Structure 1
Amino acid sequence: MRIFNLLPLIALSCAACSQGNEGAAASGPTEYATQTQAPTPDYKALMAEPRLGDGSWVRRDGSPPLPSNAMEIGQAWYDRLEARNALLGAGFGGKGPDGPVNMLDTGMTEAEFLAWVDDNDWTIPQHITFSFVPPMNLPAVSDAADGGIRIWPASTARTGAQNEALLSGRVELRDGCFYGSEGFGTPDKLAFFHGEIGLDIDDEGYYILRDRVSGHVRARLGEDMHWGGPPSAYIDPELEKEIQEQCGPGEILVVGSPESRERFYAQYPHTRDPNVLPSPPSE
């Protein structure tokens, strides 16, 4: 089976300003926010907070026999999902690439998929295994954070399999725009996130990145970060045009699903200190 798989800095007032935190948004009459530095919160406590939902993918197993027109049916469903930007992966029967589609990973929840099928009066093929992404439980941008940004630069499609090399960099918010860099120099490219990443403001007034599926805090903007990569993401042409108009011109850097470096260390303390052995696997 084959598997395929982002001037003058006028800042938004916030709770952090009253604490005098350098790099966080400053008080005063404002339009858009700036946050280029942030202190590290207690990630151990944040990671212990309960998840929103179970975050599980759903699998709908196919069953034999293959219909005589399995090749035609599989290609039709492959093309439908690809046209919707909802094809995350595909598997093929047989020994080579010319076998019929027998598995499709979709960038939709099961409920979204069934509604889509019903709207188009299609019949789901029984011989193909379908998988569905977990629902997202948070909006892309919270009401609290919405007024401080010009545009939210995140994919409108769900995320499939990604490269997993551990990359380092930073993401900052400056005058309502998001800038990223690989390495720890001044972010100078237009940052772009995976669709599962959302923006919020925490209890101390800092802009944070949240996982929209689990609800967990992944980073405060301005922290040193890690992400898997090189990441990829679908960038809607109209959204790209709007990002460039609002915050560019400039090169777009896909940062995917960034995580604070300190959060990463809280999860894997042996990566900070090579003399600390990793915890044994849980049973």
Structure 2
Amino acid sequence: MKSSIFLLLATSLAHAEARFAPGSTTDEITIPEHDTLDDSIVITTPENAPNAIDPNRGDTKKPPYYLLVGDSTVASNTGWGDGLLALTSHPDNGINWGKGGATTVSYREEGLWDQVISNTTEFKVDHEPIVTIQFGHNDHKVNSGISLHGFEENLKNMALDVKKAGGTPILITPLTVRSFEKDILVDSLAQQREKAIAAAKAAGVDFIDLNTASRNYVQKIGKEGSASYDLNSNDQVHLSPTGRAVFARMVADLLVKARPDLEKSLKAKDEVSEKIAAGEVVTVDQEKQQ
């Protein structure tokens, strides 16, 4: 087996022409109380759910334009957002609007949400604006002042705003924190996962369960295996270049599973996808990341 995987994704991260919002910062790390990992499956939406994903949903005659909304686990330099845009067939058909430290409240207060809605209105003429929305890492903190009910309502309203503007919202449950107690991954964002799914169902929109998918994968590779995905040895929230590549691939594969028609706009599954599915650690040749 090759000692490292040469990722087309990784090589293009620095060169992708995708635009992104400035001002990304790093969130503080909070390690919540222990909660054991459950055995929930990685499937994004049950077939009998009220919002079960319809492969024919969306304007498939128009190419997608990706607008990525979220906190630092989406933002440039710390999250999977730029990596996802690098996996698109036309990286300039997307903007990473991820913002470090953002909550579902601050994102509106700082005017970022208005810009996303403006983009949605602008690009819907020639594209299907696909607005992915992932929050939770900062909303769950006590000092955020955001209740679980408020978090759900905020996500639901964001999804409805996108629909009203003519876009396609896809809610994403938050990327797992890679913190372990002994050999068990701490399920620190379980409530945020549940509320994001509830918000999607309430708004009648699609969602992908990145939290479950990433938890299952990180649990399989363990603390030592996932360490290379950490931004640094003290940060199990934000992502290293390798981590950004791996979880961008995971998001892309989940999107295609949710919306098979998006396969036309996203690069096909590769060896990274196979490694993730097999629960194996992915390594990236450092020279190829430059």
Of structures 1 and 2, the larger Rg is shown by 1
**Where is the strand percentage greater, Structure 1 or Structure 2?**
1
TM-score (norm 2): 0.26
Q: Which has the higher contact order (CA 8 A, sep 6+)?
A: 2
**Where is the helix percentage greater, Structure 1 or Structure 2?**
2
